[in-house]
Amino acid sequence: MTNNTRNEPASPSTLPAEWVPLDELIQAWASFGRATRSLEGLQATSHAFAALALETRARASYAQAMREGQAMQWPSHLSSAFSEAVASLSDACEDWLKAEDSLSQLVGRQDEEAAVLVLDVTTKGTCHAQHLFRLFLRMLKEMGTRSGMPLRVMVGVDLLPLTGEQVKGALP
């Protein structure tokens, strides 16, 4: 058995099914990024890939937290890896919102080659962002349950997603 480091991707068998594969989403955004020539399209692509990178970091941190949890039988405090996973998911949600905002500014102004791809990336990006946000909320709930401490989350304009610093500050 080999030791996995935090930089190695988690194998699909070590993660719950809610961590969906990213290959199709990556391909859709890569195609759109190659086709677009507009400022908004390139900004959307940049935010999408930033979100995908953060989700990849969250996956690795979550897998590490699960390994640590199994080894330690989940002590009352949470591992820093779990906190990092939640913080990375929060940041990924924020980047998906930025990608959606950039795409919304693009409507009616995209070049012809990218125009056929806008609906595809908009639909896939929005669906994935919603899925990721539900995963983020589930992990926040798990964070509160595992820590044994009440965890207060304020939902409202400009409050979610939380920054990594806010998530780490919410832990006891």
* pLDDT per residue as tens digits for the range 88-129: 999 999 999 999 999 988 876 666 778 889 889 999 999 999
Is residue 9 included in any domain, yes or no? no
In a domain, 104, yes or no: yes
64 lies in a domain?
yes
User: What is the pLDDT, as a whole number, of residue 64?
Assistant: 87
- Asked if pLDDT for residue 162 goes beyond 80, the answer is no
Give the pLDDT band of residue 3 (cuts 50, 70, 90).
very low
Residue 3 forms part of a structural domain: no
CA 156 to chain centre: 19
CB 63 within 8 A of CB 88: no
Per-residue pLDDT at 50 exceeds 70: yes
Q: Look up residue 50 and give its two tokens.
A: 């930033």
Whether pLDDT at 24 is above 60: yes
User: Is 14 inside any structural domain?
Assistant: no
How far separated are the first and last CA of the chain, in Å rounded?
34
Find the mean pLDDT for residues 2-26. Answer: 67
- pLDDT tens track for 68-91: 765 555 544 457 888 899 999 999
pLDDT at 127: 92
- Domain range for 49 is 20-169
Residues 138-156: tens digit of each pLDDT: 888 887 776 666 666 655 5
Q: How far apart are CA 139 and CA 86, in angstroms?
A: 7
Given a cut of 80, whether residue 159 has pLDDT beyond it is no
User: pTM of the prediction?
Assistant: 0.76
pLDDT for the residue 112: 74
Burial class (CB in 10 A: 0-12, 13-18, 19+), 45: buried
User: How many structural domains comprise the chain?
Assistant: 1
Helix/strand/coil (H/E/C) assignment for every residue in 67-106? HHHHHHCCCCCCCHHHHHHHHHHHHHHHHHHHHHHHHHHH
Provide the H-helix boundaries in the chain. 23-35, 39-72, 80-106, 112-147, 164-169
pLDDT of residue 147: 67
